[in-house]
Amino acid sequence: MATNFAIVGATGNVGTEMLEILSESDIEVGDVYAVASRNSLGREVSFGDKTLKCVDLETFDFNKVHIALMSAGGEISKKWSPKIAATGAVVIDNSSAWRMDPDVPLVVPEVNADAVEGFYKKNIIANPNCSTIQMVVALKPLDDRAGIKRVVVSTYQSVSGAGKKAMDELWLQTKGIYTNSELPAINFPKRIAFNVIPQIDVFMEDGYTKEEWKMKVETMKILGSHVKVAATCVRVPTFVGHAEAINVELKSELSADDARALLRESPGLMVIDQPDGEDANYITPIECVGEFATFVSRIREDSTQDNTLDMWVVSDNLRKGAALNTVQIAELLVHRKLLKK
Ligand code: 2RA
């Protein structure tokens, strides 16, 4: 039986990627509806070789779909996900609204696919934060093999994570600097052009930002509470692709060579790591744009502490960090025949 989809937030950075990735899925996709706010009514989006006209979130009948892929922000999700779920459709939500709800699974298919089975409690499944997803894909095999004690991570996050307007801000600010018409910071707390900003999202009481807190608590929900995470999240002036420098302390020894071989065999990962010599090779964010994989480079042993590795992990934040992971969850529901409707 074909599966019908609603893409809620269809005109956004992530919504358009969801449509593109869904159009290439191997599951049998039936009707697809591009759902958006009233402001986007009449706008058209592409789905494979078709063009879809946006329909209104306020009036759309969700009885028509089996799955709603949502990327419309936390407030809209809090209001609409329960209503959509009440029609029997399963909501797979990309916002932070439901991630820490104990009755909502937080799923990265390569890491904790079985968690998806708990979706029936609310008919909602949460997609983790982009910076968490790529990190746990790389950490899972290490945890299974050698047990993780602690992770120290610094992120280098592109502006697309903050939406389309944030991408425009980087572009216009960069141009403005050359034409003496500097644009003030609007979507970021400080100027982003030719700068880096050690703040993503709001500050919490303990001095960490909410983005850093998300990496900590979401990782524990996905991998288990034995994985302690200390994060510093930084916005950098790149458009797409998040990078992370990860220091991971393990319970038992794992050489850099063994880690490289292990990660090479692990789902969702590509190891690009020729650490020395003339052919030294590693990945950068610009090279991962449009790719499905999470890339790992610069795997090395930390000589300052036993059983500790350093690595560089890069992924397309709009794809594996958002739209692709959401579509993969939908595929999991279909392949496991979990849809009741
Ligand atoms: C960001 N983590 O990069 C956000 C997007 N989910 O701002």
Please give the ipTM for the structure prediction: 0.96
Give whole-number Cα distances, 129 to 199, 219, 286, in Å.
16, 10, 20
User: Which two three-digit tokens encode residue 237?
Assistant: 């002036």
Is residue 12 annotated as involved in ligand binding? Answer: yes
Best residue among 131, 167, 218 to mutate for probing ligand 1's pocket (most ligand atoms within 8 Å of CB) is: 131
Architecture of domain 3-128+322-335: 3-Layer(aba) Sandwich (3.40)
C-alpha of residue 269 to centroid of ligand 1, in Å: 21
Nearest to residue 210, comparing CAs of 72, 339, 99, 295?
99
Parts of the chain belonging to CATH 3.40.50.720? 3-128+322-335
| CATH code, 131-317 | 3.30.360.10
CA 175 – ligand 1 centroid, Å: 24
The region that residue 69 occupies, defined by phi over 0 for left and psi between -120 and 50 for alpha, beta otherwise, is: beta
Residues of the chain with CATH 3.30.360.10: 131-317
Catalytic status, residue 242: yes
Which residue numbers in the chain have pLDDT < 50? none
pLDDT of 86 reads: 97
Which one-letter amino acid corresponds to residue 147? Answer: G
Residue owning the nearest CA to atom 3 of ligand 1: 161
- Classify 319 as helix, strand or coil: helix
What pLDDT does residue 341 have? 66
Q: What pTM was computed for the model?
A: 0.96
User: Is residue 226 among the annotated active site residues?
Assistant: no
Ligand 1 atom nearest residue 321's Cα: 6
Q: Which residues pair with 314 in a beta bridge?
A: 243, 295
Q: How many CB atoms lie within 10 A of CB 50?
A: 11
Residues within a 6 A CB radius of ligand 1: 129-131, 157, 161-162, 200, 211
